Chains A and B, each alone.
Chain A
Amino acid sequence: MSVNWSRYSAPMAFYPLAGRLIPWFACVAVVLMGVGLYMGFFVAPTDFQQGEAYRIIFVHVPAAWMSMFLYVVMAVWAGIGLGLNARLSFMMAQAIAPTGAMFTFLALLTGAMWGKPTWGAWWVWDARLTSELILLFQYAGVMLLRTSIDDMRRADRSSAVFALVGVVNVPIIYFSVQWWNTLHQGASVSMSTGSKMAATMLTAMLLMTLAFWLYSVAVVLSRVRCIIVERESLPVWEEEPAVIQKVAEVR
């Protein structure tokens, strides 16, 4: 049994598939978020240096990771869209931007909430914070560029090019704590040295990250469905046979 996946590159075919996937992603996201919050607040111990303030990590790190990850995924879809001139790829890129922007905002806000008690400042112009702020402007740029161009195809291509060029900022954000002398603490989890955190802290953080990831998938899929309805001219979404019948007659 082989599935013809290329079939789903057509918005019409993708629409019902996305609709079937959303509830699964949403449900697992909610469950993992519940378990992650429970572990974060009731199982993970108090940090010996930062006291209870460190618990912000359970939203801050997942939000920051998602802000970078979603940008890369958006840029990949934008690249595929430009390369193959595929409508659905541009729609995916369009659907990711608002969620990515939201997580970037949350990473900055929760970072300020963490910075004030630990550094004594809501904000400092260090490399990590500044490059993350630039990421927020990049998301805003991608979205504003799209809305400022009336012709849909040109809007698709322009915002895709903008998104692709901006992807260079993602490694800059990620490695900023190594490349520059930043106030922001270094990575707590690294591929080479493993984790510097207590096992229960790490588990809670990874559960929250997985939950945010699944949440993002659910939200982006449901946004891409909205975009398909807004941009396509066939009633892919229609559940009422009577309306489909009537549309068929009108046509």
Chain B
Amino acid sequence: MQWGSVSEFFAMGGYGLYVWTSFVVTTLCMVWEVLALWRRRTAARAEHRAMLLGGSNETEA
């Protein structure tokens, strides 16, 4: 291992801003995608259930 201390690790040899921005944004994108899918799933199921139980003859694809 090449890191002498925690601050050295975060500094990334002076490239900290670039390295950590890359990793943090990638992580945020993935977390956001998973959360967005979870919300989409909940919404889709709720809407589908309402459509099925409502008994109304709405536009059925």
Contacts and interface: CB of A to CB of B under 8 A. Distances in A.
B15 A226 contact: no
B55 to A, nearest CB: 5
Contacts of A219: 33-34, 37
Interface string B37-51: 100110011011100
Contacts of B40: 223, 226
A42 B12 CA distance: 12
Interface residues of B, number: 32
- Dominant SS among interface residues on chain A: helix
Given A46-B2, A106-B29, A109-B22, A250 B55 contact: yes
A14 to B, nearest CB: 16
Contacts of B49: 235, 238, 243
Contacts of B29: 102, 105-106
A114 B26 CA distance: 14
A42 B2 CA distance: 7
10 contacts: A42-B1, A51-B13, A52-B15, A53-B13, A56-B19, A59-B22, A106-B25, A106-B26, A230-B48, A235-B52
A60 B18 CA distance: 12
Contacts of A230: 44, 47-48
Given A41-B9, A51-B13, 9 more contacts: A45-B2, A55-B15, A60-B22, A110-B25, A226-B40, A229-B41, A229-B44, A231-B61, A235-B48
A246 B26 contact: no
B53 interface: yes
Given A225-B41, A229-B41, A247-B52, A52 B13 contact: yes
Contact of B45 (A46, A105, A215, A229): A229
Given A52-B12, A219-B33, A246 B18 contact: no
B31 to A, nearest CB: 11
